[in-house]
Each structure stands twice: as structure tokens, then as C-alpha cells.
């Protein structure tokens, strides 16, 4: 069995109110997108009040090369990843020497040696530590990282696994891209980092089971195009429709393997890709209006941090709502592939 022992988050230093971001978009996209004033309503309807970035707002006002953006990614992934890791270990009351395996998840920058190797040096982790860098899972990455950490703990029950997830989505902004997808990314994307410690023993929610799901012939729904200037986001309007169409059957089939149903779930930790996605989950799973308040709260305060977002939700749940006497919960996210990752938790 694998248990979640501790979590920590590391927001970047620059907080940007959504109204300020909207004014930037009005100026930047003016005369480039038809009906700009109508489309700007995306900011008002996003469910977001503020977001955090590793660079100041003025950084977005000029063109940047991919190499410049990627070096900024490496620098800040190390800063925020180590910050979240130190806090996570402190909360668990263990030292860096106790970590047996580190998993690093991201999709918004590239590095070889990978960021986990750099974190090993920064955190002074053991020289015989094993490591797994995971790239390309997008919004799915936080949930998938938990699943892969669970697999490792099941194979090595005495091990401590540190999962570190960093996404710096703001750095993927393309100054000269006036597509609707880039506009939507400007309205919802944000930066963040989180760390989770998992072990085979100790206090904390047990990860009872995990499930990966991929839909064939859906590669064009979400992902990146690789451009000279950097990573160009791919969004499909069909994501809420996919949630409505497939989520209920997928979730109920997963839970039925354990003799459970959605009514047995006391909490839902769901990656909020956006306000429409949250509402699609609410309708598909027949949830009450208050059952996704954690997801809505994180989206409102931090925006969509891709893979990191669901770990912010997990962190807030453990700090503010966790009760040892409660029972089961679900954690889930969607990402490129097009795919989903779902975990059944038990307190």
C-alpha cells in the first residue's frame, strides 16, 4: 500500500490579478482578433481572480526566444521545485537522506540533465537515489505522478518517494501568436510547483487503486506544437463534451471493482481545466454545488497550472478538510493523449 505522507506548494513571486491580465490581452490582441471585446469575456467567465508567474508582468510585453524562455524555465523549476520539496520534507519530519526515489513531472520546459538530477544536487539527496523524469503529460501529470509513485512504493514498500511537479505555463506565451488557443491560454494559464511525499507506512490517505485511460484517435485534442519561438498550445472545444460523455461510465466502472459507487465518495479532488470543465464534471457525476468547491477555490486563486493544479487541491484538502474518520475520495485529471488518470483514496 502507498500513503500520502505530506504535501507542499510553492507559488511563484508575481501575483497578477485577472483584471490586469485582461487589460494586457485587450492591448496585445487588439486589431488582431475579431470581436475582441466580446472574446475578452473569457477572462470574466474563467472562474479566476488571480494567477502567479515566475516572471514579472512586463516580461510578456516583448518577444522572447525559445532558448531564453527555456533557460528561465530551468532556473525557476529548480528554485520552486526545491522550495516545495524542502517544505514537504519538513512537514513530514524526515531528512533528504531518507528519500529513496525522486519523480519529476513537467511539460513546460526541457532540460538534460533533467530537473530531478539538478534537484538531487540542490537538496543534497543520496548519491544512490533512483530517479524518474516524466515529460509530456500536461494537465494529467500531477495525478499520473502520484500513480507512478504508488507503483514504486508497491514494488518497494519500505521506500520513501518524493514527487516534484513544476509547470511554468506562462513561459509558453507566444508573443506573435494571435490564435484563439493562445488567447485562451493567456486567460487561464499560470505557474506553480508542488511536492508530495509517499511511503508504504505512516499517517495520511492510502492510495487504494489507480486507473489510466486513453481514448484512441484523440491526439489533436490537447498538447503542444513545437515552433521556433517555443511551445504553442493546442486546445479543443470538445474537452467539456468528453467529460460529459465518458466520465460517468469510466468512474463507476473503476469504483465497481472495489464494490463502491460515486455515492460512497466523500470528496472529489478534480483538476479544474477551466470553469466549463468543472461544470461538466458536476453534471456528469451528478454532484452537489458544494462538492467541487476545492477545485473552484484553487482555480479562482491560482488559475490553471497544468499538472500542478490537482496537487494544490490535494494540499488544501489535507490542510483544511482531511479527517481520519472519513472514508473514500477520488482524485482525477485529464491530459494530452487524450487521456485521464484517476486515483481512489481512503483516509
Distances (CA, A) of 294 to 33, 252, 261, 307: 34, 22, 21, 16
139 is catalytic: yes
Q: What are all long-range contacts of 149-155, with beta carbons under 8 Å and residues at least 24 apart?
A: 149/2, 149/101, 149/103, 149/196, 149/198, 150/2, 150/198, 150/207, 150/210, 150/343, 151/210, 152/101, 152/103, 153/1, 153/2, 153/198, 153/199, 153/200, 154/1, 154/2
Q: From the candidates 54, 78, 88, 139, which is the catalytic residue?
A: 139
With CA atoms as reference, report the closest residue to 272 among 232, 235, 240: 240
CB-CB contact of 7 with 43 (8 Å): no
Between strands 191-199 and 2-9, the pairing is: antiparallel
Q: How far apart are CA 340 and CA 254, in angstroms?
A: 12
Report the DSSP beta bridge partners of residue 51. 16
Return the number of other C-beta atoms located less than 10 Å from residue 186's C-beta.
22
Helix (H, G, I), strand (E, B) or coil at 194: strand
Which residues 6+ apart lie within 8 Å of 128 measured at CB?
none
* Residue that is written with C-alpha cell 489510466 in the block: 212
CB-CB contact of 239 with 223 (8 Å): no
In Å, the largest CA–CA distance within the chain is 60
Q: How far apart are CA 246 and CA 223, in angstroms?
A: 20
Omega cis (within 30) before 338: yes
C-alpha cell at 43: 477572462
Which residues 6+ apart lie within 8 Å of 212 measured at CB?
144, 147, 339, 340, 341
* CB-based burial label for 256 (10 Å; 0-12, 13-18, 19+): exposed
Residues classed as catalytic: 139
Amino acid at each position: 500500500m502507498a500513503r500520502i505522507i505530506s504535501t507542499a506548494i510553492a507559488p511563484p513571486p508575481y501575483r497578477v490579478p485577472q483584471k490586469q491580465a485582461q487589460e494586457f490581452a485587450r492591448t496585445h490582441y487588439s486589431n488582431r482578433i475579431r470581436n475582441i471585446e466580446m472574446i475578452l469575456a473569457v477572462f470574466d467567465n474563467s472562474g479566476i481572480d488571480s494567477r502567479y508567474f515566475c516572471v514579472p508582468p512586463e516580461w510578456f510585453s516583448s518577444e522572447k526566444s525559445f532558448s531564453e524562455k527555456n533557460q528561465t524555465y530551468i532556473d525557476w523549476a529548480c528554485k520552486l521545485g526545491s522550495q516545495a520539496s524542502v517544505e514537504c520534507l519538513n512537514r513530514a519530519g524526515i531528512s533528504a537522506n531518507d528519500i529513496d526515489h525522486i519523480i519529476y513531472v513537467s511539460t513546460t520546459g526541457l532540460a538534460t540533465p533533467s530537473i530531478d538530477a539538478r534537484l538531487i544536487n540542490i537538496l543534497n539527496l543520496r548519491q544512490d537515489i533512483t530517479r524518474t523524469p516524466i515529460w509530456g503529460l500536461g494537465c494529467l501529470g500531477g495525478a499520473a505522478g502520484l500513480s507512478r509513485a504508488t507503483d514504486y512504493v508497491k514494488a518497494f514498500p519500505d521506500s520513501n518517494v518524493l514527487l516534484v511537479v513544476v509547470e511554468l505555463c506562462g513561459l509558453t506565451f507566444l508573443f506573435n501568436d494571435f490564435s484563439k488557443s493562445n488567447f485562451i491560454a493567456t486567460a487561464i494559464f499560470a505557474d506553480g510547483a508542488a511536492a508530495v511525499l509517499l511511503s508504504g507506512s505512516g499517517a495520511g490517505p492510502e492510495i487504494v487503486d489507480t486507473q489510466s485511460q486513453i481514448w484512441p484517435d484523440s491526439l489533436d485534442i490537447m498538447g503542444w506544437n513545437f515552433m521556433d519561438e517555443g511551445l504553442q498550445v493546442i486546445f479543443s472545444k470538445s474537452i467539456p463534451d468528453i467529460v460529459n460523455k465518458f466520465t460517468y461510465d469510466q468512474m463507476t466502472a473503476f469504483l465497481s471493482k472495489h464494490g463502491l459507487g460515486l455515492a460512497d465518495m466523500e470528496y472529489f479532488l478534480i483538476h479544474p481545466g477551466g470553469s466549463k470543465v468543472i461544470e461538466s464534471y458536476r453534471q456528469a457525476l451528478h454532484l452537489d454545488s458544494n462538492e467541487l468547491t476545492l477545485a473552484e477555490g484553487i482555480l479562482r486563486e491560482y488559475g490553471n497550472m497544468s499538472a500542478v493544479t490537482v496537487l494544490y487541491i490535494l494540499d488544501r484538502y489535507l490542510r483544511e478538510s482531511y479527517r481520519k474518520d472519513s472514508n473514500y475520495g477520488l482524485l482525477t485529471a485529464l491530459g494530452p493523449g487524450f487521456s485521464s488518470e484517476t486515483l481512489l483514496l481512503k483516509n
